[in-house]
Structure 1
Amino acid sequence: MQRRLATVFLLLGATLLLSACGFQLRGTGDIAVSDQWRSMYLVSSNPNSEFSREVKTRFAANGVEWQEDKANANFQLVLGPERFSQRNLSLNAEARAAEFELTMRSTFSVRDNSGKETMSDTTGSVVKQMENDPSNVVGKAEEIRILKSEMRGELAQQILRRIAFFAASQEG
């Protein structure tokens, strides 16, 4: 009984210490976007792409309202297409790729409602490494598809963080 009570107090103490030091799980904190920057219009060559939808979703989750008409928006996010590349990092004994490096990039900029550039062209990128099993081609293709989806989300989050930081630096 005393051992169980000691374990409960230990767990409770550890939880209190973690919460007191400001620890929070990655991705659970909201990114503060200033009020003026909460009204945006998306300018994209492909507004229905998975990447554009991911950007809209991430921004909306942090309080940004996407306007249907750019005249109603305070800012325009000019989003370039996602560019995905894959290269071999290492080879195995049979001279086949043992490890890949996957890279996803996109360039973006922000204009104010008059069309004047507020934030110049900036490139965001996400890099991941992946082990390769040459005997499992179907599994590799599926793993790449899943990683691309994760990378798309991370890239959208990176764009949001950069814009939020830029907006905060302009206010101060």
Structure 2
Amino acid sequence: MPRLIARFSLLTCIALLASCGFQLRGTGGVAVSEEWRSMYLVTSNPNSEFSREIRARFAANGIQWAEQEEDANYQVVLGPEHFNQRNLSLNSEARAAEFELTMSATFSVRDKQNKLVMPDTTANVLKQMENDPRNVVGKAEEIRILKSEMRAELAQQIMRRIAFFAAASRDG
């Protein structure tokens, strides 16, 4: 009997989570129409971590990256990522106690005829972190990890914005 109650409780929890739309972070796919699944990436630095993250995020959502510009239906024109770190608060020794980290990038989308379809749009990610002035090496590593997470969030945000734009242009 206790096993039956436990199984029933587990199934109830799973059903409730599924019905409320819960999904694990990073697992939610973004649907784009077939026409928008063929893209070419235009960037000044194709081997940067940001460009690689964009390619990976888009590919995970069904986007095929064309090798040549003319083989793609759309071009994603990606500007460089901009990272900024500023002090939010100071401690009693007048040292930074908290940082604000921001990362942004501008992008646009052009069609096969090189006509601007989606104008320049800026995506932003903002994070805050506490600082321990006695642990400089640890904080440098934490900033490196946060920058990587922010880059992934920025790429996902760009993917969602393009998907939303594609759906709106198809419906409208």
Answering whether residue 49 of structure 2 is matched by residue 50 of structure 1, we say yes
Q: Distance in 1 between matches of 2:164 and 2:7?
A: 41
Q: How far has the Cα of 1:3 moved from its partner? A: 4.2
SS in 2 for 1:15: helix
2:37 is aligned to 38
Deviations 1:22-65 (A, max 9, x none): 32223212100111111111100001000000000000111111
2:133 is aligned to 134
Q: Distance in 2 between matches of 1:86 and 1:71?
A: 39
SS in 1 for 2:47: coil
SS in 2 for 1:123: strand
User: Which structure 2 residues correspond to residues 56-71 of structure 1 after superposition, within 5 A?
Assistant: 56-71=55-70
Q: How far has the Cα of 1:129 moved from its partner? A: 0.3
Deviations 1:79-128 (A, max 9, x none): 00000000001111101000000000000000001111000000001000
Number of aligned residue pairs: 171
User: Which structure 2 residues correspond to residues 10-25 of structure 1 after superposition, within 5 A?
Assistant: 10-25=9-24
What is the TM-score when the length of structure 1 is the normalising length?
0.95
Alignment RMSD: 1.1
Q: How far has the Cα of 1:162 moved from its partner? A: 0.2
Answering whether residue 157 of structure 2 is matched by residue 158 of structure 1, we say yes
Specify the code of the residue in structure 1 equivalent to 2:26: G
Q: Distance in 2 between matches of 1:56 and 1:30?
A: 15
